[in-house]
Structure 1
Amino acid sequence: MSGVRSIVLAAGGTGGHLFPAFALAEELVRRGIAIDLMTDTRGDRYGTSFPARSIYRIPSATLASRSPADIAKTTFALASGVKRAFEVLKDVRPSAVIGFGGYPTYPPLVAARLRGIPTAIHEQNAVLGRANKMLARRVTAVATSFEKTKYLERRLAEKAVLTGNPVRKVVLDAAARRYEEATIDGDIRLLIFGGSQGARFFSDTMPLTLFALSDDVRKRLRVVQQAREEDIDRVREAYAEAGINANVAPFFSDLPARIAEAHLVIARAGASTVAELTVIGRPSILVPLPHALDNDQLNNAQRLAESGGAWCIEQRSLSPERLADHLQRLLAEPGALADAARAAKNAGRPEAVRNLADFALALADRRRPDVARAG
C-alpha cells in the first residue's frame, strides 16, 4: 500500500451497519484519510458505492443456534475470517480498525488486536448488539449513539464515548428541506418502509389500514411504500382497488429525499432509520421489529417517542383497524404532526459524523477519544 494514512472500517452487509460506516468514510476521505472496507459477501448490495480504496470480503458467519453443529460451523468461519483479516492487515497497515456491528466485524477486530492496531466499535442502537457485546472488552474504545446504552456498564462504560449515529451526506442534504405542514384539504404524503430487509407486515397491513380511512382522507393520500419483490404486485393491486395513489417498489435509492418530502413516515425502528428521521426532522409511527433478541428496535423507538418525535406501537397490539383509527386522528391534526417534526429534529445529531471522525482520528493517533463521555 502507498504511504497515505489509512483506517479500516468493518461492517456487516446490512444497511443499519453499512450506512453509518459509509457516513464516516465520506468524512474521513474528505479529511485526506484512505479508507478500506472489510465486509461479508453482502457487501455493497444497497447501491451505496462505498467510498473505499479497497473492499475486502472476509469469511464470517452468524450463530444460528446453540446446537453443536452450528457452533462448530460458526467457529470455523470466524477463525477463517480472522486468518484472512490478519493477512490483509499486514499489507494495508492501517492506523486503526473500527467496527460497526454484526458478526462480520468480529474477524477484522480480533485480527487487528493480534497485530497491535488500535480498535473501536460503534454501536448504533440503544442496546449493545451481540457481536459488539463480544468485542467490547477487546477493543480500545467504544463509540455510542445514545447517552445510555443497555449492557454497556462498569468498566466498559469507562471507555465509551457518545458520538451519535452518523448519517450520510445525502441525508444531511435532505435535512435542509423545511417540513411542509399538511393542509386540511391538500395532498397527504405518506412514506412506508421496513428498513433494508423490507417488511412483509407492512405489505399485509397498510392497504387494509388505508382502505379503512374515511373517503375524504383516502382520496388525498399520496403513498410511497417499500415492499418485498414477491409482494409488490398484490400491494399495488390492493391500492388500485382502493383508489389510493401509490408508488410501490422494492427499494428507493433516494429514500432520504423521500423522507424529507413526507408529511408522515411509517417504518420499523432500525438505528439508521431513527437517525435519519431525526436529522431530517419528520414525524413517524414506528413499529419495532418483533422477536428481536435484544429488543433493540423497541428501545430505539421508545427513546424517540419519549422525545415527542414519534409514536411507538408494538406489532403485537397493532391491527389495521387500530392503526387506521390512529392515522385518522393524526391526519386530522396537521399541527400535531408539525409539533412531532420539530421534536424529531431537536432529537437529531447532525454533528455525529464529525464527532465520530474526530473519535477515529484520536484512536489512530493513539490518543484518548473524548468527544463526550457516554453515561
Structure 2
Amino acid sequence: MKVLIAGGGTGGHLFPGIALAEEVVTRHHANEVVFVGTERGLEARVVPREGYPLELVKVQGLKGKGLFSLLKALVALPLAFIESFRILVRQKPDVVVGVGGYASGPVVLAAWLMGIPTAIQEQNALPGLTNKVLGKVVRVVFIAFEEARRFFPEKKVQLIGNPIRRKLMDNYLRSHVAHENFSVLVFGGSLGARGINQRMLEALDSLGDLKGDVRFVHQTGKNDLEMVRKGYADKGFQAEVVEFIDDMSSAYAKADLVVCRAGATTLAELTVCKKASILIPFPHATDDHQTVNARALVDAGAALMFQESELTGQKLAETLRTLKSQPERLKGMEKKAALLGRPEAAKELADVCVDLMVQTWGPSGRERATPEAKKAPRSES
C-alpha cells in the first residue's frame, strides 16, 4: 500500500500525519508513505528528518488575508493544482489523506478528481476552512472531538481521536521514574508561549514556601529562554528550563501536573499519557478553537482551563497549590484523562486506508488493479 499524506504547516497538523506514516510503514516492508507540503511549513524540516520523501507545492492560505495577499493566493491556486496533479501522476498513491494546512486543499481535490480514494483527518473540535471544504468530497472524515461531527456529512464521519507518534507512546511506557518532589511540566508549543511564561514567573512570587517541594520543567521557546531561566534562579526554585524538549515522553512521565496550551495534538498526548492539566488556550487561535478543544477535557473532569486574559500569576499559584495538596483529586483527573485517550487512533486510521484501497483497487493496490477496479466510480465521494 502507498499512502500520500498532504498538509502540515504546524505540528498540530503534521504530527498526526507522522503517526499514521509510522503505522503504515511498520505493517509491511513494501508499504510506502510520501508527504506533500510547502517549503515554509514545519514539514520541510521534520519530514526528511523522519526519513519520508517530501514533495512540495506552492500554495497560501485564503482566510484572514488582506486584499493583496488574498489575490496573490488566488492566483497561485491554479499552479498548485497543476503541481498536485503532477505529483499524483508521478507517485501513484493508493490512498490520499489530508491532515489540514494549505497543501492539503489542492492535493486532496486533485486526487478526488483523479478517482483516487481520499480522506481527511480533522484534529480540532472546530474544523479549519480547508477541511470544511474537503469534507464535502472525500470518502471518509476522521475526527478527534465529537463537537466536529456537525460540520461534516454524517455518513462519512469516524470518531477515532488524534494519532500519536509511536515513539512518544513507546518511550512513555518505558520512562516512568520515581521522584520525590511534586513535578510541574510547563510548555506552550514548539515556539513557546510568552503569556504562559510570564504568568508562571509571576506565580512563583506566591509559591515561596513550596521552593523545596516543587520542581519545574519549563519549555520556553527561543525568545524567552534567558528571561525564564533567570526568573526561576532569582526566586530560588528548582527548574529545568530549556528552549525545546526533544523527549516529550520522558517529560510527561515525570510530571504530576501539566500547564500548557490546548492544541489538539497536545490534548491527545495528555490523554494517552494520562496527565492532569491546567489548560491556557492560545487566545489568537482561528475561531478560538483551542478553547473548544479544552472544554472537552474540562467537561470530562480531566483538566482545568483559564483564559490567558483572565489568568493572573496569583490565580495560577493558588491553583497549583490547591492541586498539589489534593493528590486524590489529581488521580481522579488522570483517570478521566485516560478515558479520553485513544492510543489506537493511528491503527484505526490505517485500517480504513486499507479498506479504501481494497474497495477501489483490489487487495494488491493501484499498480496491480484490474481494469474493472480502475474504472471504479466516485459514488462515495
Do these two structures clear the TM 0.5 threshold for a shared fold by scoring above it? Answer: yes
Aligned to 1:311: 304
Q: Summarize the alignment of residues 286-325 of structure 1 with structure 2, pairs less than 5 Å apart.
A: 286-325=279-318
* Alignment counterpart, residue 212 of structure 1, candidates 206, 213, 216: 206
Aligned to 1:355: 348
**CA offset digits 1:183-224 (Å, max 9, x no partner):** xxx412111111234211112111111231141x22222211
CA–CA distance in 1 between the matches of 2:133 and 2:32?
Answer: 28
Query: Post-superposition shift, 1:39?
Result: 1.2
Cα distance, 1:343–1:149 mapped onto 2, change above 3 Å: same
Q: How many residues matched?
A: 356
Q: Is the 8 A contact 1:20 1:165 kept in 2?
A: yes
Aligned to 1:9: 5
Query: Post-superposition shift, 1:158?
Result: 1.9
Aligned to 1:20: 16
Q: Summarize the alignment of residues 67-86 of structure 1 with structure 2, pairs less than 5 Å apart.
A: 67-86=66-85
Aligned to 2:45: 45
Q: Is the 8 A contact 1:26 1:51 kept in 2?
A: no
Query: Post-superposition shift, 1:138?
Result: 2.2
**CA offset digits 1:67-121 (Å, max 9, x no partner):** 3322211112333222111101111111111010112211211221222211110
TM-score for both structures, normalised by structure 1: 0.89
CA–CA distance in 1 between the matches of 2:282 and 2:274?
Answer: 22
Aligned to 1:163: 160
CA–CA distance in 2 between the matches of 1:281 and 1:258?
Answer: 13
Aligned to 2:373: none
Asked if 1:364 is matched to 2:362, the reply is no
Aligned to 2:187: 193
Over aligned residue pairs, what C-alpha RMSD do you find? 2.0
Asked if 1:147 is matched to 2:156, the reply is no
The 10-residue stretch of structure 1 (15-24 or 250-259) with the greater mean CA deviation from structure 2: 250-259
CA–CA distance in 2 between the matches of 1:280 and 1:22?
Answer: 18
3-state SS in 2 of match to 1:109 = helix
TM-score for both structures, normalised by structure 2: 0.88
Instruction: State the percentage of identical aligned residues.
Output: 37
Q: Is the 8 A contact 2:202 2:313 kept in 1?
A: yes
**CA offset digits 1:8-53 (Å, max 9, x no partner):** 001213111111101110110012221001111121435883342x
CA–CA distance in 2 between the matches of 1:231 and 1:178?
Answer: 28
CA–CA distance in 2 between the matches of 1:19 and 1:330?
Answer: 31
Query: Post-superposition shift, 1:244?
Result: 1.0
Q: Is the 8 A contact 2:191 2:222 kept in 1?
A: no
**CA offset digits 1:151-176 (Å, max 9, x no partner):** 525xx122111221110112222443
Aligned to 1:30: 26
Q: Is the 8 A contact 1:127 1:150 kept in 2?
A: no
Asked if 1:340 is matched to 2:333, the reply is yes
Cα distance, 1:48–1:325 mapped onto 2, change above 3 Å: farther
Q: Which has a greater percent of helix?
A: 2
Cα distance, 1:327–1:180 mapped onto 2, change above 3 Å: farther
CA–CA distance in 1 between the matches of 2:35 and 2:96?
Answer: 10
CA–CA distance in 2 between the matches of 1:199 and 1:364?
Answer: 41
Q: Summarize the alignment of residues 199-238 of structure 1 with structure 2, pairs less than 5 Å apart.
A: 199-215=193-209, 217-238=210-231
Asked if 1:136 is matched to 2:135, the reply is yes
Q: Is the 8 A contact 1:140 1:159 kept in 2?
A: yes
3-state SS in 1 of match to 2:158 = strand
Give structure 1 stretches of 5+ with no counterpart: 368-375
Give structure 2 stretches of 5+ with no counterpart: 361-381
3-state SS in 1 of match to 2:183 = strand
Query: Post-superposition shift, 1:58?
Result: 1.5
Q: Is the 8 A contact 2:112 2:138 kept in 1?
A: yes
CA–CA distance in 2 between the matches of 1:157 and 1:293?
Answer: 24
CA–CA distance in 2 between the matches of 1:77 and 1:247?
Answer: 45
**CA offset digits 1:328-375 (Å, max 9, x no partner):** 1111112211221111112111111111111111122237xxxxxxxx
Asked if 1:244 is matched to 2:237, the reply is yes
3-state SS in 1 of match to 2:151 = coil
CA–CA distance in 1 between the matches of 2:287 and 2:154?
Answer: 19
Q: Is the 8 A contact 1:127 1:294 kept in 2?
A: yes
Asked if 1:176 is matched to 2:176, the reply is no
Query: Post-superposition shift, 1:326?
Result: 1.1
